[in-house]
Amino acid sequence: TLVHSNSFLSGPAGHSRSSMESIFSLGATNAMDDNEEQPDADQPSKWHKNTIKVFQVLKSNITPTNETVSYDALSAGVSRRTAAGFFFELLQLKTLGFIDLNQAEPQGDIVISPGVKFFDDYE
């Protein structure tokens, strides 16, 4: 079970809130109208724009030399709303098989690693 950490509120030294906020300008995650069809998990081109943004951030941070990334590091210095939206999109990507999420202890950092579909094309 993943438990959301609040350590992102303090942020690391040297990272301003505005510079990190621009990286994760996710906006509202539930902006879909009731009349819209739900996206098909097998058709990533129909992903919500915020899911695509988060996946792009992960693609740029997870490399063959750096195979994991920390949720706390990625969400450092952003607003609570942005961090929560980012967390929600991580859960979406985990459900779709694009990433794996591991947490050693309750309220500990979440380690993000590639899932079985991570290197598949999403567009």
Which pLDDT does position 73 carry in this prediction?
93
Whether the model pTM is above 0.75: no
Q: Can you tell me the distance from the alpha carbon of 2 to that of 80, in angstroms, rounded to the nearest whole number?
A: 17
pLDDT tens per residue across span 6-27: 443 333 444 444 444 444 544 4
E strand intervals along the chain: 69-70, 99-103, 110-114
**pLDDT confidence tier of residue 35, bands split at 50, 70 and 90:** very low
Enter the tokens of residue 22. 């621009």
Higher pLDDT, 2 or 67: 67
- Return the biggest CA–CA distance within the chain: 45
pLDDT tens per residue across span 46-88: 888 999 999 999 999 998 888 999 999 999 999 999 999 999 9
CB within 8 Å of 46: residues ≥ 6 apart? 39, 40
